[in-house]
Each structure stands twice: as structure tokens, then as C-alpha cells.
Amino acid sequence: MKIRWTKQAEGEETEVFLEKGTAMPETFQKLGKKRGGDCRISVKKEGFSEEEWTKMLCNGVCSLYDGAYQFSKSGLKSLGKQSVYENRDSLSDYGDNCYTFVLEGTEQEIAALERGEALGRCKGYARTLGNLPNNYLHTEDMASYAGTLAKELKISCETYGDQKLEELGCGGLLAVNQGSRREAAMVVLRYEGAPGTDWTALVGKGLMFDAGGYHLKSIDGMKGMKYDMCGAAEMLEMMEYLVTRKVRKNVMAVLMLAENVINSDAVKMGDVITTLAGKTVEVYNTDAEGRLVLCDGITFAQRMGARTVIDLATLTYSAQSALGDQVVALFGNDREALRTWKETAEVTGEHFWQLPMGPIYHKMIEWSICADFANYAPGKGAGASVAACFLENFVEEGTRWIHLDMVGPSVVRKETDEMAEGASGACMSTLAAYLTR
């Protein structure tokens, strides 16, 4: 797939005319999804402010990539001796189309096209990681991918395996991974794009597979559990986007990688674990594991100096029950940050809805007689809010925090006119725009 521009609207390619009101992300996604021949796109500048115009071009190109993307079955067949990173382009199929934008060709316009293309490709890489079967992408493979990417980007990357995690005291992450014969991993990438300024941390849930532990999922519940690492995949590829675009911001990614499976050592209902923050948790539900790995990641990010923490996770089906498959549950502790996030999402076209937190939900997990709190509120409902409040216990005073529960939109469960079935890259467009605003 190629993106280019021209000042002339002549040619043999299919020509599409768009204007304000029709130049929406889903319109561009449908164009990309067709994957049939070259296409010339004429967008009327009338009605757009300069800022709206360049944002539309960036979002439009990114959306073309969203629509054109397909996971490559043939690429998977050839995935053998080489690593996932080395094969990531052959695993991401965009077709052979060329999309030509009819524009004046100003520096601002071309830069917007380039930003959209870079973001579209990074979203595609994140989707490919999500689409890979678990037996092709274990914890060590994901950590290796991150390390190779960091080397290519010339940024720092450190992987903490079981021994280092034990020394640190990351009891949440280690407990979730107890049933796996593979080591857990916390992968930390750092990019210093604005020396001397505050750090932002991107914490991603990376359950490479979630069988539910001893609270074993049903066959329907276990379907698609390879996607439970999409939060980590997206945060990793967001780092690639920020570094390649040379964004002037200090950003770290903290990827919490584990497998929630069963053996004789797996964490059990009623076990009490000690998290990195020193707080104890009674494990009531072994399938409420995402919050146990994220809490250690949030604590570690703050210890590394992050003043803003954004975590992204396929965390609770309660969020999907409340909001469906196209809306992400939004939580946070800073009114201004939440307002800015919502305003940014209006431009990118992604959908978020803020759900409540507060003492009502905090009290629901304070019932344990053995621990500071439990990881679940049996029979109480409001699961997404309860999970968010669990995580809020690990957010220190003075830290700005946004929590994104994307179970619904993280996966396209059935092919649509806009996108192929599989991992979607949800939240990445808004996250990119928020971090670079």
C-alpha cells in the first residue's frame, strides 16, 4: 500500500470526492477495506480550519491503513527460524493499492500525511502482535520483539525476569504467572524526547493467554484470550510511533507480561499476595488477574519518576456489558486530563465514556479479613468501576492517571465493511493525538 499526493485530479484511477461531514474515519476505513485498485481522493478544504484540515488528513491516512490491514496467513506459515520482529511486515498485509490525495501539497499537509502513515503502520504492527496465536508469541517472544525494536530505535530497554521481579517484590505479576512454566516479564522502554521535563508512563496489560487460572473459563469465554495482551502490544507500538516522529516528550512504556494458566503451583482462591507497593491482596477470583499485573506496573512507573500514568487493558467484560463493542470505558483522577482526552477523541473519531469511581466502589473490595483488600467484589456488579478503584489504590498523590478498559473495542469480532476480523488497535489514534497535542 502506498500513500502519495498530487495537485491534479486527472487520471485513470477511481476518484472519490469528500468534504467536511463525510471525511470521517469510517469513510476512509471503507476505502482502505476495498483493497481494489488505485484510488484518487479529493477532499474539499472548505469548512475546515487549518488545524482541523491537517488532523483530518492524518486521521484519514491512518484510517486507510486500518481498513486495508489484514493478518497474513501465508506470513504465519513462513514464520520459523526468524523472529516475529523480523517477519512483522510479511505478517501485516495491506494489499498493493495506491491512494493519492489531491492537495495543495504544503509542508503541513505532507507532514500530516506522513504522521497518518506512520501511525497506521504502528497500529498494524500492534494488531499483528494481537492476532498471532499464543504458541507463536509467548512472553519471551514479546520481550525479544520489544528489545529488538528498542535497539532499532536507539532507546533503552530492560527486561525483568522472575529473579529480578522477585527481588523487586512484584508479587502481583509473579502470582498471576505462577501456573506457567515460562517466566513472567516486565519490559521497560524509555525515550527521553524532552530532557528535564516530567515523564509519562504507558502501562500495558500483556496476558499472552488468559485461561482464567483455577477459575477456568468456558470454551466460549476462552475464545480470543490470545488478545489479552493487546494493551501491551499497543503501548509498545505507541513508543515506536513517538520515537520515529521524534515527539518532544519523555515517555516510558511498562509492559506487564504473563500467562494465566494452570499447574500445581498456580495461585489459588483465598491466597494472599504482596504487591510491589507493599499492599496485600486476597485473590478471590483468579480470573480477575489483569488488575494484579497492572498494579505492579503502575507502582513501578511512579518509582521510575512518572508523573502521568496511562494504563491500557482488556480488563473487564463488565465494561463491554455496559458499553458494547465500540466504546472504551474511561476512568481517571484528574478532571482536566479527562476533559482533554474526551476533546481529543472527538477529533480522532474513537468512542469513550467515563464511568464512575468513588468510595461506593472502593468499599466493595475492602471485605478481606486477611489482606488490605480483595481483587474482586463477589455479587456486587459494577465490575469495571470496581477494577478501576482497585487500581486507584496504587496511584500516589500527585500522579495524574488515566485508565482505559477496552475489552469491547479491542477486537473486531466479526468482519465489517470497515475492518477485518481480529485485533483493532483501539485507543491508539486518541493516545497518539493526546501525547502529541
Q: Which residues are identified as catalytic? A: 217, 291
Paired strand residues for 209: 259
Give the whole-angstrom CA distance, residue 170 versus residue 362: 22
Q: How many angstroms from the chain centroid is the CA of residue 174?
A: 22
Is 345:328 a contact under the CB 8 Å cutoff? no
Residue 358, Cβ density class (10 Å: 0-12 exposed, 13-18 middle, ≥19 buried): exposed
Question: 3-class DSSP state for residue 299?
Answer: helix
Q: What distance in Å separates the CA atoms of residue 115 and residue 106, rounded to the nearest whole number?
A: 14
Say how many C-beta atoms besides its own lie within 10 A of residue 59's C-beta: 26
> Which residue type occupies 433?
A
**Which phi and psi (to 5°) does residue 204 adopt?**
-120, 135
Closest of 34, 31, 142 to residue 88, by C-alpha: 142
Cα angle, residue 383 at apex, residues 364 and 185 outer, rounded to 5°:
100
**Among 178, 174, 199, 393, which Cα is nearest to 277's?**
393
DSSP element (H, E) containing 203: strand 199-210
